[in-house]
Structure 1
Amino acid sequence: MNETFLATAPFGLEAVVARELEELGFHERSVENGRVFFSADALGALRSNLWLRTADRVLWVVGQFEARTFDELFEGVKALPWADWLPRNAHFPVEGRSVKSQLSSVPACQSIVKKAIATKLSQTYHDSWLEETGPTYAIEVSLLKDQVTLAIDTSGPGLHKRGYRVQTGPAPIKETLAAALVLLSRWRSHRPFADPMCGSGTIAIEAAWIGAGIAPGLLRSFSMESFGWLSAKAIRQLRSEAEEIKANAPKLQILASDIDAQAVALTTQHAQLAGVAEYLHIAQQPLKRFDWNEPYGCLVSNPPYGERMGEDREVRLLYRELGEIMRKHETWSAFILTSHPLFERLYGKRSDKNRKLYNGRIECHFYQYLGPLPPLPQKQQEQIPPEKQ
């Protein structure tokens, strides 16, 4: 039986998450700010956790109602059949958020939801004391314009925690955002890919996982696996299918380079942990040494922003250098995430597209310079009718 789930998404990436869900076969979707609702069964929920690259987490929606007072919130929560979902010993922490609602105190809302769930479970299990020693069922209460949405977190730790990044550099980018940048570039595995300012290697590694078809959740577990919704056999089967896809990965041309030796060491370590070291060429070199004769490549990078005192001059020189390099690679496309307000002027060219995104709390723009697409292989050209060529 299908239930309603929602994939949470950073601002500006809702459409990317929705497209991922569509490609995974979840066709019943609706998009809101920061949330994409979709319909799935338990196996589909686990599959979404295993394969979504850009969502923050996947939540199971268990109740929606209107509440303008704390009494209405308490009674609305208490009316739900919590014992159908939570065992007697469930550990159920409550997180919350409130936007444009009369109930604006998030701590108070969390406390009331916790009390209401505990009251209902005590009544159902005929036990005045509930020991929260069992599996964790994290509850999220979200209030938007007095509309309450209650959901159970099926992911556990955020989906950006892939399991390969043990250390970070001075300006880390989340794995989910890195994957989004690659997906927005529309890069495909038959084209060269480069991040010549790779930091700890996150963008290049996410590109390798995308190009090789590796499920981003393959190295980790999810909280719903302890809920008893699925048999161990069903979970093993889903993961086994993902492993088979990984085993048939194509050859990739991916360069990850950086001027900093520590960054290169981190990239090497992370690539090994992610199982993609064979797909990456990792090098310590300054940006000015970037030169790749292969045509129709794709450069995606999150360079320094120059926000620390004394760094702006160096960053301005870096952006000018990047523009000069890309003008020598006429068939390449470039995609740059930065918060620097003068990036286009320093790069020397207006971007073809510009998308506002957030790197953590930093408002950035994703500047997109679109080079020509590579010609189709001869076999594919022969399949296109002459009038459409």
Structure 2
Amino acid sequence: MSGGFHITGAQVLRPEGLAEGPLGIAGGRIVDGMPGRALALDGLMVLPGIVDIHGDGFERHLAPRRGAVRDLGRGLIAAEAELAANGITTAVLAQFWSWEGGMRSPDFALAMLEALAGVRPRVATALLAQLRFETHLLGDYDRFAGTVERHGVPYVVFNDHVPHAALAAGKRPPRLTGQALKSGRSPEAHLDLLRALHARTDEVPAALATLAGRLAGQGVLLGSHDDPDALSRARWAALGARVAEFPTSLAAARASEGAPVVMGAPNVLRGGSHSDGVDAREVVMAGLCTALASDYHYPAPRLAALSLAAGIGIERAWALVSSGPAGVLGLTDRGRLEPGAWADLVVIDPADGRVGLTVAGGRVSYMSGPVAEVVLDGSGG
């Protein structure tokens, strides 16, 4: 289908709504008319490709077992196959830059970014990087900002996972031994590190303001993670961290005041947060959610949007995984099916929600079932 093709017989979700009509694809774009070969996909739905604004499910492909995969590029290619199979055409890979060590260490982040640069030209899915920076790594601020600039990282989210409450009370933090083993440190060394990070808490706000300003000057999108309340959200917004990722209360989501709010699609499917946070459906129904992210499960955006469609309509529900996240990321060329837009689309069987075809930038990245039979038959149905 390198010369272009067009789809007939399917319900197509365009900006004006879901309706049957031909959809043309040529030169990597959605086009007017009916170019090339016809694909008759009667009874199926053609939806904009999913833009996954935050997902760390790729980690399972990089390390299915500790030390099992040493070639990160191969792991990323396997992750891209899973993304495509779930209708994701643009994926933001959320990589930690943390004191936690192991796959969350700065050195691993650098290796992952190098591998990602090598993989991008070999796959159809658009793979972007997000770095999740631990704010108490004061000694890493310059190195981190330089890495973001050198690798063109478009999106940075600030985290603080230091167990301050336990440390301030002089207690041993929970799960210390397990975390230490994952980091490659002894429990004693890990505890010493946590105490040292906690001791410099007063230095963080000023340093963070400088770092946020530097990153914003580079055109980097900034966000915060797990905001617990309105005050926390307001503080991050004042630093230029516009995006509220997975706020844990409705008050924090409301405090965003029109700025982007990203919720977890697995939260929608579960019917609530696994960590006692706000129910994502509640945020969606209040009109506060801009985008749903895979978080840790790549099938979740598709399934969550289809689940929500029964209550809010397919147009609004699917926007949460397509045009919504695309807009947050500033990707104005995707997230919708209209002439001139990037040819990112997913074909779904409305009977069971299964993906039959994923096209990213006009290139087939995944195909199965009845759609594959139509394509292989060569007759267009």
> Does TM-score exceed 0.5, indicating one fold?
no
TM-score calculated relative to the size of structure 1: 0.26
TM-score calculated relative to the size of structure 2: 0.27
Structure exhibiting the larger radius of gyration computed from Cα positions? 1
